Amino acid sequence: MTANKDVPELLKALKTTLNASARTALLTELLLKEGHDRHEDIVFELGLIGASEAVPAIVKAANTSFQELVRWGNVQEFQRKCAYALARIGTDESKVALEEMANSSDADLREYGQEGLQHWPMPYRQSGRS
């Protein structure tokens, strides 16, 4: 994969986009692109906001070796974050995705899929602060 010329524009738009639906669309698009070092942050945010429409992209991303993640040795950490994002999303579709990961021929994906299933669904917990 090569860097996409639109990555800088997408990152710029992300900084100013607060609308949840539009932000989710930007995050989902960026998640599958090379040319940035935000993959882990993006999948974490998608999980936090419970972006069910991002499940297919998260599954695809978990099975992709992005150059930046390979260079930094973070592929497995990213795959684990993908599993936790799926657990946090907590839909039937995300559970099926975790089950597929848990049956993967890739040992790391299999482990993280099983771990994600142990935590599915992972409810959002607000702090006790007012």
**pLDDT above 90 (res 125):** no
Distance CA 114, CA 71 (A): 26
φ and ψ of 38, to 5 deg:
-110, 10
Confidence band for 122, pLDDT divided at 50, 70 and 90? confident
CATH number of 7-119: 1.25.10
Q: What's the pLDDT at 41? A: 95
Q: What's the pLDDT at 53? A: 95
**pLDDT above 50 (res 2):** no
Q: What is the pLDDT of residues 59-116, one digit of tens each?
A: 999 999 999 999 999 999 999 999 999 999 999 999 999 999 999 999 999 999 999 9
18/86: higher pLDDT: 86
Instruction: Please tell me the total number of residues recorded for the chain in this structure.
Output: 130
Q: What is the pLDDT of residues 38-74, one digit of tens each?
A: 999 999 999 998 999 999 999 999 999 999 999 999 9
Distance CA 113, CA 102 (A): 4
Domain ranges across the chain? 7-119
